[in-house]
């Protein structure tokens, strides 16, 4: 009798876990794919924010040799940034989207090396997938 109760209890527990396992098998791959897709979009600058102010004012506040922290204090966080660690140096590209243009700042080891400005309205990519 005790053996029969133990078997039925084990069977009940196993049957309870089957829907949980099935839901995980069906949901987890889609969640992972969407996560990777969103990370790829972030790297590409999809739906990047527009920084308040004008590109002309920001360009006046930006100088070669300026530290990254000083740049953030002067004009704010970039709309998007990408970076890479090399053998001897860390290189980054910061992109600022303003309503009236785009400013791209190249940094090496946290110092501004080059600044370029495009005075045309920015073309910020949008996502092809619904949220």
53 conformational bin, left if phi > 0, alpha if psi -120 to 50, beta if neither? left
Percentage of the chain exceeding pLDDT 70: 98
pLDDT at 66 > cutoff 80: yes
What whole-number distance in Å separates Cα of residue 81 and Cα of residue 61?
19
Q: What region, left, alpha or beta, does residue 68 occupy, with left being phi > 0 and alpha being psi -120 to 50 degrees?
A: alpha
The answer to whether the CB of 43 falls within 8 A of the CB of 81 is no
Q: Each residue of 9-52: pLDDT tens digit?
A: 888 888 888 888 888 888 888 889 888 888 888 878 888 889 99
Q: Indicate if the pLDDT at residue 68 is higher than 90.
A: yes
d(CA 27, CA 79): 32
- pLDDT score for 1: 60
For residue 37, give both structure tokens. 């897709």
Asked if pLDDT for residue 59 goes beyond 90, the answer is yes
Report the C-alpha gap between 76 and 83 in whole angstroms.
18
Residues 74-91 pLDDT 10s: 999 999 989 999 889 999
The pLDDT, as a whole number, for residue 131 is 63
Please classify residue 23 by burial: count the beta carbons closer than 10 Å to its beta carbon, then call 0-12 exposed, 13-18 middle and 19+ buried. Answer: exposed
């Amino acid at each position: 009798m005790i053996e029969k109760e133990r078997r039925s209890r084990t069977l009940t527990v196993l049957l309870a876990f089957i829907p949980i396992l099935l839901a995980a098998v069906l949901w987890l791959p889609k969640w992972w794919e969407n996560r990777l897709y969103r990370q790829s979009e972030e790297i590409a600058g999809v739906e990047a924010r527009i920084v308040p102010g004008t590109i002309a004012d920001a360009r006046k506040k930006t100088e070669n040799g300026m530290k990254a922290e000083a740049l953030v204090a002067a004009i704010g966080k970039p709309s998007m940034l990408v970076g890479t660690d090399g053998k001897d140096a860390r290189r980054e590209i910061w992109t600022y989207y303003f309503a009236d243009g785009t400013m791209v700042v190249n940094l090496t080891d946290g110092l501004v090396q080059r600044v370029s400005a495009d005075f045309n309205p920015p073309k910020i990519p949008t996502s092809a997938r619904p949220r």
